[in-house]
Structure 1
């Protein structure tokens, strides 16, 4: 916790923006901004978007710096990225690069370009040797693994990369699942150990050639589809030093092409502007994925491997306070809980909601939590879940300060869409709010492939 708070504090101080100014711009009370500022709580991904909008009205430079500091390499939350946001160059035509994602119906080009950037960075932008199609496709599959296999996002009807991933029998080890495979090395290795010949041919049938078609728009206009790839190979190879496409190919005939050779001027440009270019490409991919997953929460946090999971220290402290005043049973196992041995369960799996908000967290045992994993609980637990949340809220209300109570209930009020914190003490209101909020999410998660109807046995 605290990444957004750190970024917010830095920006408000740098641009002399008061917490009250930001609160007014957001239409929230100042104490909420105060808690973000002092890293007591983190705003949700959706709230971060609203913060950017509010900062943009106060000072556009402050908004841009907040995005840069908060998201680092990704820069995912800009409302609009236009050509001039990509730094211009006197060596390469950046306006053409800005068009490579126009008129896209699947994720291939986004993943291809992002994978090229990853490979370039890993090679420290030293790419005198060609980059093979296989290396790029492996990187694409690795980049697609977390959003598709772990977070179960839809890639769209016309997109085959998810289907290709599903055909692979990958050995997914704990470091991959626990986000410790920081450069995707283990994931790439396990993908590389598969027979990828057919997948490389299938995925690469168009993308390597069509990605750079904007560099030759005039020359390829009106061509029959089967003539486009051969012409692009010919144009890229013959005009490599004059037209300066992003890359050319290692052969003159498509049947013999198995690698690309990046133009040295583009390598220099991408190295000098890596953060901005990757942020632009990530933003474009986010827009595409949000269109395909319109009701899915927190898509912004599911496109790339999380760097680390946030600490649950504050949430554990909350439930330990409850257990200090009242005995509680696990809703799944009916075992009496020991406050010093609890494990927090995400009622809706973390890999679906991608947040650690209290309204979705209840105490259980480590064994039960491990058993439930990323499964969706059976409907039979719903009433007990809400009653436990109600018990916790009631005990907290009676035993902690009003400021603490408002702090802990902030996510309940915003996500369950109740009028005020005191409404949470009404069990009937709480059951209705949870039913309206969680049931559609459970249905959506089931459609996306999360296992439903889990029952502890």
Structure 2
């Protein structure tokens, strides 16, 4: 990963490249990500100070960690205590949480609950451990109990030398001071550094959640939800030619009054594939939110999907139908001729849904009542 980072004639970029060589927990990754977020905000305002309070860093860390852990229910590992702090934050985890206004509300809630959730405990070790690559030789043989004090001393001693560390720690002020040279380097190459950090963050999350789908898309707060225009167009053609009933309420649906539901919640699957979408009564869709379907929902869902697929087979042009069924072929592993075979479709869905629902339950997703 060293070759991925931009070179510097004055700074030891090799030390920076080793920041995440040893990452058993999320702390270092979240701490560095918080520094980048704060530096990016300064860059946008063109007010570079490079001096960040413990409080502001902790808030950024919790915001970055909240979406993967609370919204997408990803694990940070058994040794990681960040999750226990996030669980204390009183904030709704429904699918509206990724909207801009809710993101601002999340920040406000973390600031308000800062002391109650003991947020400052995040910085007990992370600021010191992140500096370890800059003092590898000097720390050789140092006992664990003495490493924090020694790292603090070394950072102060080297801060005004030609080979400075990334930052120094001011315990009295409770602040982190980025070195001006490193601040200039990070600012100049911010998009590349952020991508490098995101690679490590996604890799960490994938290692802790090996069987979870679409982990890389769940590493950060979703910036937007993709349009469901094509998926709605498919279902509205079906709704216009045959009767479709809500799998949750049994209510007859119309093109003018329906909502498109992610049968397995979007916050779990992380995609908008047609095989997982079903028209539903808008009220029921709102109530279901990010909950998992019940066992008795599944057969109704499969029957509705089969009815829609056989209807679309007769209704659509051959090329249109091939495009529409692509996700059924790739994700459910069905041949085109088997997609309209009810037995084959049922078997494929059961093989796909049963393990995914079990995994989602183990992650903390609950079933609708």
Query: Considering the TM-score relative to the shorter chain, is it more than 0.5?
Result: yes
Which of these residues, 434, 438, 444, is aligned with residue 349 of structure 2? 434
1:348 aligns with 2:264: yes
Structure 1 gap segments, 5+ residues each: 1-81
| Residue number in structure 1 paired with 2:167 | 247
Displacement of 1:127 in angstroms is: 4.0
Superposed displacement of residue 222, structure 1: 1.2
Q: Which residue of 2 aligns with 1:400?
A: 316
Pick the aligned partner of 1:151 from 58, 72, 79: 72
Aligned to 2:30: 111
Deviation at 1:128, TM superposition (A): 2.7
Task: Report the alpha carbon displacement of residue 195 of structure 1 after superposing the two structures with TM.
Answer: 3.7
SS at match of 1:297: coil
Deviation of 1:434 (Å): 0.5
| Structure 1 position 422 matched with structure 2 position 337 | yes
1:399 and 1:175 map into 2 onto residues whose CA distance is: 34
Taking only aligned residues, the RMSD between alpha carbons, in angstroms, comes to 1.7
Q: CA deviation at 1:421?
A: 1.5
**For 1:311, which of 202, 227, 243 is the aligned residue?**
227
Q: Deviations over 1:266-305 (max 9, x none)?
A: 1100111000001001001111100111111111111111
Contact 2:261 2:279 (8 Å CA) reproduced: yes
Whether 1:85 aligns to 2:10 is: no
| Aligned positions of 1:177-326 closer than 5 A | 177-181=97-101, 184-196=103-115, 199-242=118-161, 243-251=163-171, 256=172, 258-326=174-242
Q: Distance in 2 between matches of 1:241 and 1:92?
A: 13
In the superposition, relative to structure 1, how do residues 336 and 407 fare at CA in structure 2: closer, same or farther (>3 Å)?
Answer: same
Among 437, 441, 450, the residue aligned to 2:365: 450
Deviations 1:431-450 (A, max 9, x none): 11001111111011111111
| 8 Å contact kept, 2:34–2:61 | yes
Deviates more, 1:288-297 or 1:119-128: 119-128
* C-alpha separation in 2, matches of 1:151 and 1:173: 9
| CA pair 197-269 structure 1, distance change in 2 beyond 3 A | farther
Residue-by-residue CA offset, 1:386-431 (whole Å, 9 max, x unaligned): 111011000000011011100000001100012x222111110011
TM-score (norm 1): 0.77
CA distance in 1: counterparts of 2:3 and 2:182, whole angstroms: 17
CA distance in structure 1 between the aligned counterparts of 2:119 and 2:225, rounded to whole angstroms: 33
Distance apart, 1:199 and its partner CA: 2.6
Give the C-alpha shift of residue 323 in structure 1: 1.5
Structure 1 consecutive aligned stretches of length 4 or more whose deviation exceeds 6 Å = 173-176
Tell me, in whole angstroms, the C-alpha distance in 2 between the residues paired with 1:355 and 1:164: 28
User: 1:354 Cα deviation (Å)?
Assistant: 1.1
Q: Provide closer, same or farther for how the CA distance between residues 98 and 129 of structure 1 changes in structure 2, counting only shifts above 3 A.
A: closer
CA contact (8 A) 1:147 1:304 kept: yes
More RCO (CA 8 Å, sep 6+): 2
| TM-score normalised to structure 2 length | 0.95
Q: Distance in 2 between matches of 1:349 and 1:308?
A: 16
